[in-house]
Amino acid sequence: MSTNPRYSFFKGVERSFDKAAKFTRFPKGILNQIKECNSTLQVKFPVLINGKVEVFEAYRVQHSHHKLPCKGGVRFSKSVNQDEVMALAALMTYKCAIVNVPFGGGKGGIKIDPSIYSVADLERITRRYTFELCKKNFIGPGLDVPAPDYGTSSREMSWIVDTYSSLNPSDLNALGCVTGKPISQGGVRGRVEATGMGVFFGIREACSIKEDMAKLGLSTGIKGKAIIIQGLGNVGYHAAKYCQQAGAIIVGLIEYNGAIYKESGLDIDEVQAYRKRNGSLLNFPGATSFEDETKGLEQPCDILIPAALEAVIHKDNAHAIQAKIIGEAANGPLTPDADDILNKKGVLVIPDMYLNAGGVTVSYFEWLKNLSHVRYGRLEKRFTENRYSDIVSSLEALTNKNVGAIERRNILKGPEEIDLIHSGLEDTMMGSYHEIRDIYINTAGVEDMRTAAFICAINKIGVAYEELGIFP
């Protein structure tokens, strides 16, 4: 993390916003309205833990109401504070705009170290937090829809949906009050891997552009690229897995308590199994270990993917980064100073608000599923299979040749929910990359992809505010 105790994450986001705002046509008033957090809820609530009352501090910030509901995760972490939640909520607004997901941004958090509480305690804390959100109108399918984030998963989301539903028994759309739920509670297939898979699609798209790769002195394509990943949580693990499957070489992995490096490549599943057995990556056979995990960021690679918390690359270590591409899977992993240093070095920084938008994209699909009360593929799967069967049979009759049994099965397969989710995500990540890149290459004076991403978001939100009209 940044060594500067006065580092304000929210101010950092504002600084990047201001840099981009100069390239847009909106007046100061509209820009200020876009920038500000619209509603901030801070609550302190008591929960009985082991027979004693403990008071918890928690937040929910709705950054923008230009579209409703507000959307964004809830994190459980010791470092949660108002500045952090505000910054993360703001990033959600820009993220949703970039990937054309019709939500305002929001974020929540409880200041807690979840590892020191029992599952039963965490359930009571989560349910009490949800109760506070309900009391203050900070949750609901049309108001504000939380999701998993750092330190939370589908388990917490199932407690949230159950609490909300109990308090709002007549809400037909209650399942849409939160996303990232287990499938049995109204979740959608493909949400767990969505953010990591989106990171992979985004990096693959960046690497597919010949002229951009040539500028960096790299070959086209993700195959053979040396990658270091920091953070092996849900996002980092899945990003690593899909990159490895596509032929990239995972040369380095970093966790909070140690890092490893191996030039010839590490197998992500072998390392993950080792880490689960030993509690750390250190001394993984055949790899060089670094007890000071920050050293892991500075090893040679083509692509560095920080996938944990904010401000891990800052003015004191940015100079030492050797990567030519940084894929921001985490929110805010670079401080603005680090951003300046890396841009000057010619590093291609693929910004967080685009690259990790796969999670919220699939959350949008989940929310739509909840509102439509029908599983994706249910209506068209059989119809499509029958249609393809007719086409194949006609071709066979016309050509007097038969398609093999395996080919026939592959051709006839109608789309399942997971197929539709993955293809919707792929299409979103590919399309949005080019929206941002077009701004980057066509706007005189824009020197980095983050500024282009902000311009892309500000243009869409600014128009929404203009069309919404502001009360006199």
Q: Which residues are catalytic?
A: 107
Any contact of residue 356 with ligand GLU (CB under 6 A)? Answer: yes
In the complex, the smallest distance separating the C-beta of residue 368 from ligand GLU, rounded to whole angstroms, is 13
Tokens of 256: 């909070």
Span from 247-255, 339-347, 353-361, 381-389 in contact with ligand GLU (CB under 6 A): 353-361
Distances (CA, A) of 28 to 11, 18, 91, 160, 271: 17, 10, 20, 39, 50
Q: In 3-state terms, what secondary structure has residue 337?
A: helix
Q: Among residues 35 and 181, whose Cβ is nearest to ligand GLU?
A: 181
In whole angstroms, how large is the CA radius of gyration of the chain?
23
Span from 77-85, 162-170, 357-365, 386-394 in contact with ligand GLU (CB under 6 A): 357-365
**How do beta strands 104-111 and 52-62 pair?**
antiparallel
In the complex, the smallest distance separating the C-beta of residue 291 from ligand GLU, rounded to whole angstroms, is 30
Q: Binding string to ligand GLU for residues 29 to 68, with x set by CB under 6 A, is what?
A: ----------------------------------------
Span from 20-28, 52-60, 359-367, 411-419 in contact with ligand GLU (CB under 6 A): 359-367
Span from 17-25, 297-305, 356-364, 422-430 in contact with ligand GLU (CB under 6 A): 356-364
Q: Among residues 73 and 327, whose Cβ is nearest to ligand GLU?
A: 73
In the complex, the smallest distance separating the C-beta of residue 379 from ligand GLU, rounded to whole angstroms, is 25
For residue 285, how far is the Cα from the chain centroid? Answer: 32
Nearest alpha-carbon partner for 428 in 236, 205, 140, 112: 205
Nearest alpha-carbon partner for 60 in 170, 5, 135: 135
Any contact of residue 363 with ligand GLU (CB under 6 A)? Answer: yes
Q: In 3-state terms, what secondary structure has residue 357?
A: coil
**How do beta strands 258-261 and 288-290 pair?**
antiparallel
Other Cβ atoms within 10 Å of 242 Cβ, number: 21
Any contact of residue 147 with ligand GLU (CB under 6 A)? Answer: yes
Q: Are 76 and 110 in contact (CB under 8 A)?
A: yes
Any contact of residue 73 with ligand GLU (CB under 6 A)? Answer: yes
Question: Torsions phi, psi of 120, nearest 5?
Answer: -65, -40
In the complex, the smallest distance separating the C-beta of residue 277 from ligand GLU, rounded to whole angstroms, is 29
User: How many chain residues interact with ligand GLU (CB under 6 A)?
Assistant: 11
Helix pair 417-442, 358-372: axis angle to 10 deg: 130
Distance CA 472, CA 470 (A): 6
Any contact of residue 360 with ligand GLU (CB under 6 A)? Answer: yes
Any contact of residue 163 with ligand GLU (CB under 6 A)? Answer: no
Any contact of residue 179 with ligand GLU (CB under 6 A)? Answer: yes
In the complex, the smallest distance separating the C-beta of residue 8 from ligand GLU, rounded to whole angstroms, is 19
Any contact of residue 370 with ligand GLU (CB under 6 A)? Answer: no
For residue 149, how far is the Cα from the chain centroid? Answer: 9
Beta partners for residue 56, in sequence order: 45
In the complex, the smallest distance separating the C-beta of residue 232 from ligand GLU, rounded to whole angstroms, is 17
Q: How far apart are the first and last CA of the chain?
A: 44
Q: Are 230 and 307 in contact (CB under 8 A)?
A: yes
In the complex, the smallest distance separating the C-beta of residue 262 from ligand GLU, rounded to whole angstroms, is 30
Among 93, 331, 370, 432, the residue binding ligand GLU under the rule CB under 6 A is 331
Span from 35-43, 76-84, 290-298, 354-362 in contact with ligand GLU (CB under 6 A): 354-362
Q: Among residues 88 and 134, whose Cβ is nearest to ligand GLU?
A: 88
Q: Among residues 312 and 360, whose Cβ is nearest to ligand GLU?
A: 360
Among 296, 351, 359, 462, the residue binding ligand GLU under the rule CB under 6 A is 359
Q: Among residues 349 and 357, whose Cβ is nearest to ligand GLU?
A: 357
Distance CA 437, CA 29 (A): 27
Q: Among residues 179 and 280, whose Cβ is nearest to ligand GLU?
A: 179
Please name the residue ranges forming H helices in 246-314: 268-278
Q: In 3-state terms, what secondary structure has residue 285?
A: coil
Tokens of 455: 């311009």
Which amino acid makes up residue 429? Answer: M
In the complex, the smallest distance separating the C-beta of residue 201 from ligand GLU, rounded to whole angstroms, is 15
**How do beta strands 348-350 and 325-327 pair?**
parallel
Task: List interacting residues with ligand GLU (CB under 6 A).
Answer: 71-73, 147, 149, 179, 331, 356, 359-360, 363
